[in-house]
Amino acid sequence: MQQNGSQAQRPGTVPAVDQAPVLPGLRLMRPLDLGGTAAVYLYEQEGLNRPVAVKVALQGSMDRQTHQLFLREAKNLAKLSTHPCILSIHQALVSDDGRDCLVLEYAPGGSCKTIMLKGGMDQESVLDLGVRMASALCCAHERGILHRDVKPSNFLITDQGLPVLADFGISSGIYGSERAGGLSIPWAAPEVLANRSGGSEASDIYSLGASLFGMLAGRSPYEYAYQARNEDHLARLILTAETPVLHMGEASPMLSAALEKAMAHDRDDRYYSALEFGRALQEVQQELYGHATPFIGEGIDPYPKAYAGPHARIAVIAGREECKESGRPWTGARASSQPRLRPDSEAVTDHEGSQARHFPGGSRRLILLGLILAIVLALALAWALVVGLPNGSERGSRPTTGSSQVQSQQMQSPDPTDSSDPQALQEGPVPSPTQGQGHYQGTTAVFTWVNPDPKPADSYVWHPLDQGGTGDRGRSVQTRQPTARIDSPQGGQTCISVTLVRADRSMSQEPTIICAVQ
């Protein structure tokens, strides 16, 4: 965590160092930020030398309301911290002077609010951010938790340059009816501002859509489209004015339509779930850039079925020879993982170092150009076979290896892996696990696999499949070890799906399916 208190922020203010509590096993480094009910300090865990952000209540634990807020946030984060797009909690404790404290993951990159105020992100980065935050909300909603304060300042940037959802301080159960205190008006849904709802999945989806709009526009949607005099006037605009639309050229029509649906005034007109919103954003990515950010969720396919289809990588099944059906149609599985500023703002180097320009429908034009080049090349080769090669060789003769003719043909042939991002070509996509083995040890199914290209801090996400090895069944598990165990499985065959996850949280294009047969 970098800068969030629990409620409204006072930008530019920091808590006093002498007010920081003395905490066992933690050494105070410096203050970070001050909020309405909490201060945030940077500590270092002794022995581990790991920086952590400690959120400290301004009131003692005897203040029942503050204590309940901290207790709720701690419990909710504990349920959600295994998700790679949600800020992790390490510990909850009470200081010697009676203040509640949450020991949280430290996100040194700050928040997306800072990026927004500097001009915002480009379209590709906003789509990547949107899919990640949609998967985080989906995880929370599946566990019965509403965030109720989704906004750019609660998207924090980790030391890997990736966004995580933070600050569940005013979260609640899905069936809770109390009004969300401390909500942020620019990002709040109309029904919440009108006191018709204390928050719902639909209002979280609205706030995510508004936040992505803001990351593109550099301002919240209604501040972008209208001249609000103050917060009261802004709230009235959100309740009564038409839903803002981005200007031509600031986003593709597909993305504009997706955001407009997410921010629909009537919540019944919005996406019915965070998963549906995330899928819509993935489809925009696929259409514009030929790849999509994987959606991470328990028992959820990382990619839309319309694109992924049944083409999973099949690994060794109980010692049988590995086979592969076919690859996913993603042409570039890893979306740019680090947020980038819009072209008209201060330059920030993205994770891939790319300065590529993206235009709506660009992937279709590249495909058309490739087809034209292929046809021209085929005609030229056919003509050479009929009338003889230009250097006088007889028809059907084969040029020697390394000849100028072969080199010329190689130079003129279109390269299907051509990319405007040389570093992305060099790194390549994240590979799938290989050499999968499955067997039974008594009543336990045991699975192992091999990482074909190990990197520091690699991990794996696996989840059970049905007996046919196709449909998802059961919750996902993240592990550092290339092995998995399922106790007392049902049926004569047990299968799992395994995906390799890098330290920057990018994932394999295709999962590996491993089965054990009794």
Residues that are catalytic: 148
| Residue closest to 190 by CA, chosen among 144, 221, 166 | 221
Going by DSSP bridges, is the β-strand pair 99-105/512-517 parallel, antiparallel, or unpaired?
unpaired
Rg (CA), the chain: 26
Query: How many degrees, rounded to 5, is the angle at CA 220 between CA 54 and CA 334?
Result: 70
68 vs 408: CA distance, rounded Å: 73
Q: Please say whether the beta carbons of 172 and 178 come within 8 A.
A: yes
CB distance 162 to 155 below 8 Å: no
User: Does an H or E element contain 163, and which?
Assistant: strand 163-165
Are the CB atoms for 436 and 512 separated by under 8 Å? yes
Q: CA separation (Å) from 414 to 305, 367, 371, 374, 375?
A: 30, 11, 10, 7, 11
Contacts of 245 (CB under 8 A, 6+ apart): 225, 256, 260
CA dihedral 303, 304, 309, 310 (to 10 degrees): 50
- One DSSP character per residue, 30-55 reads EEEEEBSSEEEEEEEETTTTEEEEEE
What's the DSSP call for residue 180? -
Q: Closest Cα partner for 37 from 8, 62, 15, 64?
A: 8
430: its two tokens:
């994240």
DSSP letter string, 133-154: HHHHHHHHHHTTEE----SGGG
DSSP 78-98: HHHTTSTTB--EEEEEE-TTS
**Torsion angle of C-alpha atoms 48, 169, 478, 164, degrees rounded to 10:** -80
Q: In angstroms, rounded to a whole number, what is the distance separating the alpha carbons of residues 425 and 417?
A: 8
CB neighbours of 433 closer than 8 A, spacing ≥ 6? 315, 449, 450, 451, 452, 460, 482, 498, 499, 500, 508, 512
Crossing angle for the helix pair 201-217 and 123-142, to the nearest 10 degrees = 160
Q: Is-contact 511 313, C-beta < 8 A?
A: yes
Give helix 362-387 / helix 274-289 axis angle, nearest 10°. Answer: 40
CA distance readout (Å), 212 to 107, 152, 218, 352: 20, 8, 10, 22
